[in-house]
Chains A and B, each alone.
Chain A
Amino acid sequence: MSTSTAVSTSTPLPVLSVRGLSVRFRMRGEKYVRAVSDAHFDLAAGECLALVGESGCGKSVLASALLGLLPGNAETSGSALLGDLDLMTADEQTLARTVRGRRIGLVPQSPAAHLTPVRTVRSQLEETVRELTGVPKPRSRKAAEAAAARAAFPADHLDRHPHELSGGLAQRAATALALIGDAPLLLADEPTTGLDRDLVERTVDELKRHTGEFRALLMITHDLAAAERIADRIAVMYAGRIVEHTDARAFFGAPGPRHPYARGLLDALPEREFTPIPGMPPELGDLPTGCAFAPRCDRATAACDVLPRLDAGVACHHALEAQRA
């Protein structure tokens, strides 16, 4: 186990390269809510990165920033290079015409809400096929059936409406839609919320399969079991910051997490200690200048008044050192 797993730039060109990405929201009275602070990561083809953290830690904001779907009061800083395009400076037209669906496929949080309720799965697939690939109407039927088959969506359910589908099939329909544009980056935002365990496993396995050799998968989730199942690397987010970024096997396996927050998160799982981390995360509108986790941390000292930098995959002055020696 090396400690340099976090910076896996071994592969030639990353599909996505996020550099110093920050997002803040301007609120009333010149106040700011800092939802994402200084995020760095690369994502190569064939790789799956799971961004984990509790609700409100800023991980969904990060996803929306990548898709250019931030609300009007948001301000961003830093860059996110998708190939040679900086998603942070691209205008809405570029994002709408060349990025969403074509270069980033979005697997949504609640597929039932993502699909148009009044139209059949077939008509939605066909429309997306025509829109994204320019296949003319007569041939779009075949192409839509092929797209459905790719996501293992049963052909005899194509003429159903979204509300007539089970949760698993709705998820597959949404995945089929996300795959049509053949985008090099798949972005899955909480793809397993509210699904049964079997379905969670099937959904993430399918995502992994679609990632294959040539795509990259960024999965945003609070479900650690889902992340453990398919992720190559794990980035743990706390109060808007990536506090640990490491190899997934090392994280869930033998050495374990090195950031006290990440360790606490794992220990809270019912299959482990089932003990909560005391306290609650800080308000993103009122972050301390030092380490945001210090007030809840049993290892905190005076040193934690200074913001720890992400160094060798962990942002902590007192990272668990056991496996480094």
Chain B
Amino acid sequence: MLELDAVTAGYDQRAPVLRDITLSVAPGESVGLLGPSGCGKSTLARVAALLHRPDGGRVVIDGERAGGWRHRAPRAQRTAFGVVFQQPRLSADPRLRLADLVAEPLRANGRSGEVTDTVRELTERVGLGPELLGRRPHEVSDGQLQRACLARALVLRPRWLVCDEMTAMLDASTTAALVAVVEEYRRESGAGLLAVGHDRVLLERWCDRTVHWSELAA
């Protein structure tokens, strides 16, 4: 269970972007969070993935209260989340080749030994051919880079996925392909999903249930 309980967060204590938001995702469940741009849903996604410290409220992950945010979060809690963001260009370190991009979380956790096999298996799954793995982000298209970013999010086999407007920049076919990869992973791992977006048709097709921001902020 991923529980966000009365979360208030923002970038300025005096003017929080979101106030008193409560939302929970059951294990294995996929929840689509719909809302207009600028409403604060991305901030909520970052709070849920322990990447932004809220000003109030609490986050409970599988019954365990979040111990901190960003680097202060225990590594086991941080790595329980796989995150994918809207803009692949900003989500990829421009100096890393795609293979290293995907392998980075393994190396950061001292699991370099698994890199070769895991990277091969995952990049194949997201549809990246071996000829692309040696390239740097500026040498591939948005769609290809987002595929690599999704592979990176899955590499530690997280129990929770947080996708913040993952497909907003992508065409219909790449969108369908990435959603299919996410769903396949969830089927075999039982991971839960919080998908944030503004495309009602997409989220209703993708997720078990969708919540509109206005229902949460009420």
Do A and B touch, yes or no (CB under 8 Å, in the complex)? Answer: yes
Residues of A within 8 A of B (CB): 53-56, 166-167, 193-199, 222, 224-225, 264-266, 268-271, 274-277, 279-280
Q: Do the beta carbons of B171 and A197 come within 8 Å of each other?
A: no
The residues of B that contact A280 with a CB separation of less than 8 Å are: 127, 129, 143-144
Least CB separation from B203: chain A residue: A270
Q: Do the beta carbons of A53 and B201 come within 8 Å of each other?
A: no
Q: How far is the CA of A271 from the CA of B170 in the complex (A)?
A: 16
Contact of B37 among A56, A196, A265 (CB under 8 A): A196
Residues of B within 8 A of A (CB): 36-38, 86, 127, 129, 141-144, 165, 168-177, 179-180, 198-202, 204-206
The residues of B that contact A225 with a CB separation of less than 8 Å are: 201
The residues of A that contact B127 with a CB separation of less than 8 Å are: 279-280
List the 8 closest A-B pairs by CB distance, nearest first.
A276-B177, A54-B171, A56-B141, A276-B176, A270-B205, A268-B172, A268-B176, A222-B171
Give chain B nearest CB distance to A302 CB in angstroms.
24
Q: How far is the CA of A55 from the CA of B174 in the complex (A)?
A: 10
Contact of B142 among A55, A195, A264, A279 (CB under 8 A): A55
The residues of A that contact B206 with a CB separation of less than 8 Å are: 270
Q: Do the beta carbons of B37 and A270 come within 8 Å of each other?
A: no
The residues of B that contact A222 with a CB separation of less than 8 Å are: 170-172
Residue pairs across A and B with Cβ atoms less than 8 A apart, 30 shown, are A54-B171, A54-B172, A55-B143, A55-B169, A55-B170, A55-B171, A56-B141, A193-B168, A194-B37, A194-B86, A194-B165, A194-B169, A196-B36, A196-B37, A197-B198, A197-B200, A198-B36, A199-B36, A225-B201, A264-B173, A265-B171, A268-B171, A270-B175, A270-B176, A270-B199, A274-B179, A275-B180, A277-B173, A277-B177, A280-B127
Q: How far is the CA of A15 from the CA of B97 in the complex (A)?
A: 45
Q: How far is the CA of A200 from the CA of B170 in the complex (A)?
A: 15
Q: How far is the CA of A68 from the CA of B198 in the complex (A)?
A: 35
Least CB separation from A279: chain B residue: B127
Least CB separation from B147: chain A residue: A280
The residues of B that contact A196 with a CB separation of less than 8 Å are: 36-37, 198
Q: How far is the CA of A215 from the CA of B77 in the complex (A)?
A: 57
Q: Do the beta carbons of B176 and A275 come within 8 Å of each other?
A: yes
